[in-house]
Amino acid sequence: MTSELDIFVGNTTLIDEEVYRLWLDGYSVSDAVALRVRAGILEQTGATAAVLQSDTMDHYRTFHMLERLLHAPPKLLHQLVFQIPPSRQALLIERYYAFDEAFVREVLGKKLSKGTKKDLDDISAKTGITLKSCRRQFDNFKRVFKVVEEMRGSLADNIQQHFLFSDRLARDYAAIVFFANNRFETAKKKLQYLSFGDFAFCAELMIQNWTLGAVDSQVDDMDMDLDKEFLQDLKELKVLVADKDLLDLHKSLVCTALRGKLGVFSEMEANFKNLSRGLVNVAAKLTHNKDVRDLFVDLVEKFVEPCRSDHWPLGDVRLFLNQYSVTVHSLDGFRHQALWDRYMDTLRGCLLRLYHD
């Protein structure tokens, strides 16, 4: 006796969250059955392996049919074939577009192209995430990217509107799209200690302050591309380190303000010029695309690592950066205050986030 056909169709589509997770994780039906057995479901329910097999198959088939709709979430809401309560629809979408930290760190900042897709085998082998799941996550990134590129308005809002994500997920995707568009280097060994959350945090700050959208909300791609004019202008900041008097004055003002407040005062005093040069040079280099890509590498090399080697506590870093950027306003010879703020406010936020072990 062999089962030729075995289906279950409910008026309300049954969604088993556990099986959905296994499906998303890219397990085959037999693997999923084995995993469910291991989780002790047979003991809990008194079911047989055959029942479990049939149930898993059924759910997999349902998910397979739903997948086409999940590629354009608004379709899932308007379609008539599967009757699914709104809360479940939201869950389906959210889980389908959720990604693994390990995976996203591998592809963050990479071009979402066929070439990268070919490397998914390696990523799968490296991270232990199934190839199927890697493909889904990669395709998700690419799909979202394709839909929202060349769109007006806030990146996160666009994503939310077209994919019906939760606020959190939409912001994460905005970061992924932003990184993919600007191709920031994140894979260097130096940057391995950083989490996706760190980058997403920086991305959000940069989108808010450094993109075209920060000055003009009526342009295409406003949140995707950095404001080229702004990057050009950043060259003007060079005077802060090129002008020796200005640099000395800046240093003395900062030192005066922080004396006695900093545990690492002497180290700071000794390193001030190096640090300041580092930060200002990063800004000045941003005119070149290649240097934009290396932004995080530079920040870590020029600021995070020197401070870390001197064992600056985070509190001291914060005090220093605050003072460092505020004091510029007292430099009479410096005329680019607004530019400085636009640069430094974001950079300060990023650096504080990046500064950890």
Burial class for 245, CB neighbours closer than 10 Å (0-12, 13-18, 19+) = exposed
At closest approach, how far in Å is the CB of 3 from other proteins? 6
Q: Which stretch binds other proteins (CB under 8 A): 45-53, 168-176, 254-262, 268-276?
A: 45-53
Structure tokens at 330: 């007292």
Cβ–Cβ < 8 Å for 33, 54: no
Interaction of residue 82 with other proteins, rule CB under 8 A: yes
**Interaction between residue 125 and other proteins (CB under 8 A):** no
Residues 6+ apart with CB under 8 A from 138: 107, 112, 116, 117, 120
Taking the complex as a whole, how short is the minimal distance between the CB of residue 34 and other proteins, in angstroms?
Answer: 17
- Cβ pair 274, 297 in contact under 8 A: no
Binding test (CB under 8 A) with other proteins, winner from 11, 38, 115, 357: 11
- What's the chain's Rg over C-alpha atoms? 25
Residue written as tokens 């591309």? 225
Beta bridge partners of 64: none
Point out which residues pair with 12 in neighbouring strands: 83
- Regarding 195 and contact with other proteins (CB under 8 A), the answer is no
The number of C-alpha atoms within 13 Å of 268 and in the hemisphere containing its C-beta is 25
- Give the range of 43-51, 96-104, 122-130, 331-339 binding other proteins by CB under 8 A: 43-51
Burial-class residue 30 by CB neighbours within 10 Å (0-12, 13-18, 19+): exposed
Site string for other proteins, 83-112 (x = CB under 8 A): x-xx--------------------------
The span of 73-81, 123-131, 212-220, 233-241 binding other proteins (CB under 8 A) equals 73-81
**Is residue 55 a contact point for other proteins (CB under 8 A)?**
yes
12 vs 113 by CB, closer to other proteins: 12
- If one asks whether residue 7 binds other proteins (CB under 8 A), the answer comes out as yes
Residues near other proteins (CB under 8 A): 1-14, 45-48, 50-52, 54-55, 57-58, 61-62, 64-65, 75, 77-83, 85-86
